[in-house]
Amino acid sequence: MAVSAAEFIARYGGIYEHSRWVAEEAAPIAAELDDPEKIAAIMADCVDNASAQRQLALIRAHPDLAGKAQIAGELTKESSSEQESAGLDQCTPEEFAEFQTLNRDYHEKFGFPFVMAVRGSGRAEILAAFEHRLANDRETEFETALAEIHKIARLRLHAMAEH
C-alpha cells in the first residue's frame, strides 16, 4: 500500500528515537513499501550512510536503561514499553543502583548512553551485557550501539505491522 512521503514520515517518524530525520530520508524510497523488513533495511541504510556526528546524535537520543527519564515518566511510549518488557520498571534497589553506576561509567568512557534492544531480555542479562560491553573500545561500542538501534527499529516496525 503506497502512501505519500508525508504519511510515511507521520507513521514512521518515531521508529528511530527522537530522530525523525531517518524517516524523512527514507520516505522517497520506502513510502511505496509495506514490508517491515524492507523498510527497516532502507531506514538502516540512511543511518549507516549518515555522518558520524548525526549517528552520534542518534545514539545520544536514547535514554539510559532504568534511568532518570524512566522514573520521571519521560520516556517515549515505545521506550517505556521496551524497558517494561525487560522488567526494568521492577528493579530491586540494588539493581537500580547498579544500573545507575553502569550508566555513569558507560557515559564517562564512551560519551553516549548504553543502547541495547532489551525486549525479550531480563535484568540480569542486560546487566551482564553492560559489564561486558564496558570493556570494549569506543569504536566497537559506537558500532554496537548503532547495530542495537537497528534491532530496536526492526522490532518497532514489526510491532506496527502486527497492529
Q: Which residues are catalytic?
A: 62
> Residue 5 corresponds to which amino acid?
A
Evaluate whether 83 touches 45 at the Cβ level (below 8 Å). no
Tell me the three-class secondary structure of 54-123, residue by residue: HHHHHHHCCCCCCCHHHHCCCCCHHHHHHHHHCCHHHCCHHHHHHHHHHHHHHHHHHCCCCCCCCCCCCH
Q: Are 42 and 29 in contact (CB under 8 A)?
A: yes
